[in-house]
Amino acid sequence: MSSLSVRKSSHLSVGLTDHQTFAPLELVFSDVWGPAPLLSSDGFCYFVIFMDAHTKFIWFYHLVLKSDVFNVFHQFQVFVERQFSRKIKFVQTY
């Protein structure tokens, strides 16, 4: 399983977009990184971030396998749609 944590990042691979947002979850950016050169003590070697274009909130998930991205996205989707009481409209991946 993956765990949710929030991290501060000095650099994101999310580029500029022409899309202007007016509310949370209109546009969510996502990027997967890995494999890491070393496994974490919990066996994680991939990471995925989700960033809301409107609020600039970032959610960071650890992954054991790259193929876990879909399940983690679904967990993220359920979590943020409940938190913001609205649906994700668009997802842009890198």
Rounded distance between C-alpha atoms, residue 52 and residue 86, angstroms: 13
* 9 found inside a domain: no
How many domains, in total, are found in the chain?
1
Query: What is the pTM assigned to this prediction?
Result: 0.78
Range of the structural domain that residue 83 is part of: 25-93
* 47 found inside a domain: yes
pLDDT attached to residue 94: 83
27-82 pLDDT, tens digit per residue, is 999 999 999 999 888 999 999 999 999 999 999 999 999 999 999 999 999 999 99
* 10 found inside a domain: no
* 71 found inside a domain: yes
* 30 found inside a domain: yes
CA dihedral 7, 39, 11, 76 (to 10 degrees): -50
pLDDT attached to residue 46: 96
8-40 pLDDT, tens digit per residue, is 444 444 555 567 899 999 999 999 999 999 988
CATH code of the domain containing 56: 3.30.420.10
pLDDT attached to residue 39: 87
* 1 found inside a domain: no
* 6 found inside a domain: no
